[in-house]
Structure formats: structure tokens, C-alpha cells
């Protein structure tokens, strides 16, 4: 089945490739950490990203949306650069920028829900909701790792993410159910 929704097709292609970049970045991030518990936590997040990539591909295949060679190349390079940089930029920046990245990724999945609803397609709501919520959990994890860092207020002011800024409107303590998930990320 083919869909006629350029923004949705592009968002799926971009998300598919960006999940690979995130997974690569988390390989370097985990490798740069000393604590076995923190390494394991970041490795689990990496595995979540690979799983999201598999799920997005399944959706793309339903609608015959091809993988973008451009996005695959671009995000492969970005992911590898970020991965290697984690070994030289210290402990704070990998956590900060991972949290900022995850914060933005949350709404990608809820925008997909919005776009599918424009086409009266609701069969992907549950998996897209789950992936969006998982990205929010990642954001919260990364923020908790740096919440007390002296650099956080400066980075938060410059990059508009941190303890008082988020790129999404999800509150894990007060979540809407899946059937009301189109209420999320209306401004994004």
C-alpha cells in the first residue's frame, strides 16, 4: 500500500536513519564511561535505538517507503563522529547532548501519529506511542545524570534544553493514553 504524504514519508526515512546515528553515538558514549552500571544503562539505550530502527523499517515497508541513501550516509557519518568524540569531550557533554537529542526525538514519533491520523490510519498508534515514550524515558535518564553538574545552567541557556527546557510536552507521571496521544507535540 502506497501513501501520499511527503512529510510523513520523509519523517519515517529520517527517523530510520537517525536511530542508527543515535545507536552509534551511544556505543562511543558507553565505551567512554568507567562505571559498569552507567555503561550498561547507555548500552540498553543503544539497544532501544536499534529496536526503534527495526520498528520504523517495518512501518516503511508496509507503505513501500524506500530507505533514503542520503539520510543513511549522512546519519552514519554523524553517528560515528559523535561516537568517537565521546572519548575526548569529557563526561558532561555526551550526557547533555544525548538528552537534548532524545528530547527532540520524542515528538518525531508523535508527529508520525498526527500524520497517520490525517490519513485515517491508526494501526501504528501503539508502537509509535511506545517509541515516543521510550525516547522521553531516555531524555529523563540523561538529564538525571547531569542535573547537579555545574555546567548545566550555562548549557541550558545556550542550547535551550535541560532542567527547565524540553523539546516536548510529555510528562511521564501524567501520561495520556494511546488513544489520546495525538494531544502531544501539537506545537512541534
Domain locations along the chain: 6-183
- Could you tell me which of 70, 72, 58 has the C-alpha nearest to residue 20? 72
Distances (CA, A) of 57 to 51, 61, 127, 157: 10, 6, 12, 36
> Around Cβ 128, how many Cβ atoms within 10 Å?
25
Quick: pLDDT tens for 119-144: 999 999 999 999 999 999 999 999 99
CB-count exposure of residue 85 (10 Å: 0-12, 13-18, 19+)? middle
Q: What is the Cα–Cα distance from 138 to 135, expressed in whole angstroms?
A: 5
pLDDT at 188: 54
Check pLDDT > 60 for residue 66: yes
Angle CA 50–166–52, to nearest 5: 15
pTM of the full structure: 0.94
Contact between 110 and 147 under an 8 Å Cβ cutoff? The reply is no
User: 6-183: what fold?
Assistant: Ferritin (1.20.1260)
DSSP letters spanning 159-176: HS-SSS--SS---TTSPP
CA–CA separation, 173 and 154 (whole Å): 27
What are φ and ψ of residue 68, in 5° steps?
-80, 115
**Confidence (pLDDT) at 186:** 83
Amino acid at each position: 500500500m502506497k501513501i501520499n504524504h511527503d512529510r510523513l514519508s520523509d519523517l519515517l526515512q529520517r527517523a530510520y536513519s537517525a536511530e542508527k546515528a543515535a545507536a552509534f553515538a551511544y556505543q562511543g558514549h558507553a565505551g567512554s564511561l568507567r562505571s559498569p552500571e552507567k555503561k550498561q544503562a547507555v548500552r540498553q539505550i543503544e539497544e532501544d535505538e536499534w529496536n526503534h530502527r527495526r520498528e520504523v523499517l517495518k512501518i516503511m515497508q508496509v507503505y513501500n517507503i524506500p530507505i533514503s541513501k542520503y539520510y543513511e550516509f549522512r546519519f552514519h557519518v554523524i553517528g560515528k563522529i559523535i561516537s568517537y568524540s565521546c572519548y575526548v569531550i569529557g563526561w558532561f557533554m555526551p550526557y547533555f547532548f544525548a538528552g537534548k537529542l532524545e528530547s527532540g526525538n520524542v515528538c518525531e514519533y508523535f508527529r508520525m501519529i498526527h500524520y497517520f491520523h490525517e490519513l485515517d490510519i491508526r494501526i501504528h498508534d501503539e508502537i509509535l506511542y511506545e517509541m515516543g515514550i521510550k525516547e522521553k524515558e531516555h531524555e529523563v535518564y540523561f538529564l538525571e545524570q547531569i542535573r547537579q553538574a555545574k555546567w548545566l545552567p550555562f548549557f541550558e541557556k545556550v542550547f535551550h534544553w535541560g532542567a527547565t527546557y524540553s523539546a516536548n510536552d510529555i510528562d511521564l507521571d501524567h501520561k495520556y493514553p494511546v488513544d489520546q496521544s495525538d494531544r502531544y507535540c501539537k506545537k512541534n
